[in-house]
Structure 1
């Protein structure tokens, strides 16, 4: 029997996690499930030193711990992003690393439009007015989405789903993507009437800009002050991808200068966002605590695929492999 150790909670009730585990891996492995993340890498090592397979969501797995964990054969990341795992160390040891792509495509795309509507219709400001005894004022004048231009940065699964929803709202769609020649991207662009443009053109022409690229060495700080300053008056900027895709210091500077622009942020360079961070003090920012993926349906899907990845590895046919 393989020993599988989940080093942190998987987001579902323990009974639900164990039920899914039994359905997928019951005859192959036993599960140790912790109800809180490790305090540090030292405690992490104590938890996994006898494990064959480790499951992590967002807790970092350092190269030092990977190299010391002699029994470790697989790291199953129960998340789409895996930049918190030392991939090079895993490759050195011949350890398989898997992730869960696409589990929250609908959840994240729907949050984009939740945030956009809240910003465009000034819902938060309206709520504040009502709670202080007020009523409708000129400051609550909103805008419609139909006929507006949305710029989608990154046309992977989530970006394409956002485009589908944008089409339903009757919006014009611009896309910036580093590989627009890929067949699935070309096909979806044709279906929704999207047009591929440069990043600068997208920033200049869009009423709404929404970011959907993974964080890599190429995408870190890909949106900087020189791009932000191109935004139209009254634009809405949404980031539900990774915080560091936008250079955060530049974003704070820009939002202080351009109070007509609203930023809707679900992700940050440092998470949790520090209590005294400048972003928390700005009126033209809507903040959510990285909840894009956080729906019942997405978490159940993520857990099931995580365990299916482990089963495929045990059966000698690894899937969703990133290392």
Structure 2
């Protein structure tokens, strides 16, 4: 029977089905029993767990890693592959993350947090001091045109926004078709930064994208522009970002990802009035978690079937060798 370590919050139905079929040890947050890891054939994890070479040394039986999410920046995929460990992702969160990006975009554009606080303090007159911006007719710049970026483009187009796209592989036919469907235009990074009223980041964290937006890039943004990041924090250089938000060079921002997670409560970013933050909950919808659970089950079932077939093949080869031995 497969031994599985689930080091993640997982849909109850999926976890129950796994437990009925396999030997499952579940840690919702931190791993508390490393002996279970040392015996595990399969690891299911989310973003809080960093799987590097030292971690893999403690899991010598591991044959499969499944990320209950899309990004693999917390997994040393190259080292896992070198050890013959397959790495799978569960790309189910496009709609949920795009909708959260829209939520942050609207919250920043209409100064939602300041207005909520004002009315709770009895300051009705704040309505005369707070003038927001509407989305229709404005320009949305999307950095990264994968599943989430495409969903964000559809939302922007449906709201009457002009959509500009920056992608490292814009020539892919499927991307061109998706762009055409929402009348979006591929453009250079510089053009987007200089033209957009709002920039929404939907790129993975890779050596090519880390620190992609530094002081020079942020300086190209229009003073009334806002930045939304539901991808990875390290795509934007922290120092210049803080400076732009403090000085008003950048009108505001919405973040679901942080340079350190969990984010410390005394992080200066949380104290900025023009910033709206959520605790990395882009994929936290019932529908997304249910689909992630389904994909986890499917990935493990396939791995188990192939494992059994390979074992049977080895046995058959051994039998033939004995039978044909002179």
TM-score between both structures, scaled by the size of structure 1: 0.89
Q: Cα–Cα, structure 1 residues 143 and 5, in superposed 2: closer, same or farther, change >3 Å? A: same
Q: Deviations over 1:158-192 (max 9, x none)?
A: 00001101111011010111100001110011111
- The CA distance in 2 between the partners of 1:253 and 1:47, in whole Å, is 46
CA contact (8 A) 2:245 2:274 kept: yes
- The CA distance in 2 between the partners of 1:71 and 1:205, in whole Å, is 52
Larger displacement relative to structure 2 (281-290 or 159-168): 281-290
1:1-323 equivalent positions in 2, closer than 5 A: 1-10=1-10, 12-13=11-12, 16-21=13-18, 26-27=20-21, 29-38=22-31, 45-58=34-47, 59-101=49-91, 103-136=92-125, 137-258=127-248, 261-316=251-306
Q: What residue ranges of structure 2 are gaps of 5+ in the alignment?
A: 308-326
Larger displacement relative to structure 2 (81-90 or 244-253): 81-90
- The CA distance in 1 between the partners of 2:178 and 2:256, in whole Å, is 26
CA contact (8 A) 1:279 1:285 kept: yes
- The CA distance in 2 between the partners of 1:294 and 1:69, in whole Å, is 29
Which runs of 4 or more aligned residues in structure 1 lie more than 4 Å from their structure 2 counterparts after TM superposition? Answer: none
Which structure would you say has the larger Rg?
Answer: 2
- The CA distance in 1 between the partners of 2:221 and 2:59, in whole Å, is 49
Q: Cα–Cα, structure 1 residues 228 and 259, in superposed 2: closer, same or farther, change >3 Å? A: closer
- The CA distance in 2 between the partners of 1:287 and 1:113, in whole Å, is 13
- The CA distance in 2 between the partners of 1:85 and 1:5, in whole Å, is 16
Q: What residue ranges of structure 1 are gaps of 5+ in the alignment?
A: 318-323
Tell me which of the two structures has the higher relative contact order, counting C-alpha pairs closer than 8 angstroms and 6 or more residues apart: 1
- The CA distance in 2 between the partners of 1:8 and 1:78, in whole Å, is 8
- The CA distance in 2 between the partners of 1:174 and 1:70, in whole Å, is 47
- The CA distance in 2 between the partners of 1:251 and 1:275, in whole Å, is 19
- The CA distance in 2 between the partners of 1:157 and 1:8, in whole Å, is 23
TM-score between both structures, scaled by the size of structure 2: 0.88
Length, aligned pairs only: 305
